[in-house]
Every structure is written in C-alpha cells, then in structure tokens.
Amino acid sequence: MIHFYFNAAPNPMKVALMLEETGLAYTPVPVDTKKGQQHSAEFSALNPNRRVPALIDGDVAVFDSKAILLYLAEKTGQFLPENGDLVARGQLLSWLFFIASGIGPYSGQAVHFGHIAKGTSAYALARYRYEAERHWQIIEDRLADRAYLLGAQYTILDMAVWGWAPRIDAILDLDSKQRFPNITRLMEDLDARPAAQRARELPTRFPFKEEMDIEAIAHMYPTLHALKGAGASS
C-alpha cells in the first residue's frame, strides 16, 4: 500500500492529482507543517529535507513532488510518452526539470516575499516576481499551439504545473486569466477532470491548521521568525 504524506500546498497537490488519475490505492497521511509535524523524527527519516510531499511504496521511499510524479508514471506506465519515443522523452525530462528548478522555486519565493515576509525586502520581491513571471510566460508560450505541455498528450508535466497555476494571481499580483489565457485554458481543462476534483477534496478531510500565526512562522520560516523576534526585542 502506498502512503502519501501531504498537505494542501501546491507540491503535494500535484501528487494527489497523479494518484487520483492513476487509480492507485493509497493511504493519505496528513503532515501539518504549521504545527511543525514535518520536523518529527518519523517524517525526517522519510524526507531529510523535511518538506511535503513524500511517498512510501513498500520498500521504496521517494520525496520531491517531481520525483514522485516520475516514479508513479514509470510504475504505472501512465502519463508518459509512448515507449521508444526518445524525442518526446527528452522533451518531457527537459520541461519537468524546468518546472522543478524554475516554476516552483521562483513562485514560492514570490509568495513568500509578497505575502509572508511582506515589507522585508523590496528587491527580493521584485526579483522573484520578475523571474516567476518570466518562467510562467515560457509555459504560456509553450501552450500557444498545443493542448498540453508535451503536445496532444496529457502527462505529468501538466500535473506538475497544476499545483502552482491556481496561485498565479497571488504569486504575481495580477489577473492570471487575462495575462495567461493559455495556462487558464489548461487549468480549466484539468479542473474539469474527476481526478482533479477528488484531489482538491482530499485536504478538506483533515483539520489542517489555517492560521499563519507566530507558531506557524517558527515552524515553517525560522529565519523570518528570528528576524521578527530581533525586531521585537530591539
């Protein structure tokens, strides 16, 4: 049985979509990062980076959302290019690592400096929003003449952007429907799928903490917590 360690953040949600799309049986294991559960000895043993998601499949342990997507795709033979299509395989790997190294990190930092650590660094916010918008524009342009990121086939690439794309408005402080119509079209297509609806429902079954209070900041953003503490004591 697969055990899926998750919360409602963008990276775990893309894995939730993949699990629902494949129909694999799995046990969801909530990890409330605002309560610091990612720092437990049990979870740290699964993922030394102490971030969700993580996945245990028998003796196999995988962490990082893109690694999990690729693992599940190879395990099931689903949502990958057809066997032997090395051209498509090369494209899939290139775009998967582009998303991993660009879309997620820059989007996450743009949210952090725009909403969590608001006001701490105007330069950091400007840089990360610029880079996030540049990366999202590359995705937008890629979708201009194709239904999905790989082409006509729905793959793990589309799932990989599905987690973050609904947050573009908050990431960039703009109207994503007008700014990125091709991405909007893809998200509407994916959101209409029953698997996506089940994935969206999954976190609502667990009482995750919602408040980003001082305790949550201490668990999730210790540097910011220390900065706030220094400011309070000065």
Express each pLDDT in 202-215 by its tens digit.
Answer: 999 999 999 999 99
Q: Is the pTM of this model over 0.85?
A: yes
The token pair at 172 is: 């960039």
Residue 10 has pLDDT above 90, yes or no: yes
Bridge partner residues of 62 (DSSP)? 55
Nearest alpha carbon to residue 34 among 168, 209, 229: 209
Which pLDDT score is estimated for 231? 52
Specify whether the CB–CB gap between 163 and 65 falls below 8 A.
Answer: yes
Nearest alpha carbon to residue 63 among 30, 121, 15, 130: 15
CATH 3.40.30.10 intervals, the chain: 2-79+198-209
**Residue 75, C-beta contacts closer than 8 angstroms, at least 6 positions apart:** 57
CATH 1.20.1050.10 intervals, the chain: 86-193
- Using omega within 30 degrees of 0 as the cis cutoff, is the peptide bond preceding 53 cis? yes
**Domain 2-79+198-209 fold:** Glutaredoxin (3.40.30)
Which pLDDT score is estimated for 230? 56
Tell me: the pLDDT tens digits for 34-87? 999 999 999 999 999 999 999 999 999 999 999 999 999 999 999 999 887 999
Q: What is the average pLDDT across 102-126?
A: 97
Q: CA-CA distance, 69 to 57, in Å (whole number)? A: 13
Q: What is the average pLDDT across 99-114?
A: 97
CATH (residue range 86-193)? 1.20.1050.10
- Higher pLDDT, residue 59 or 234: 59
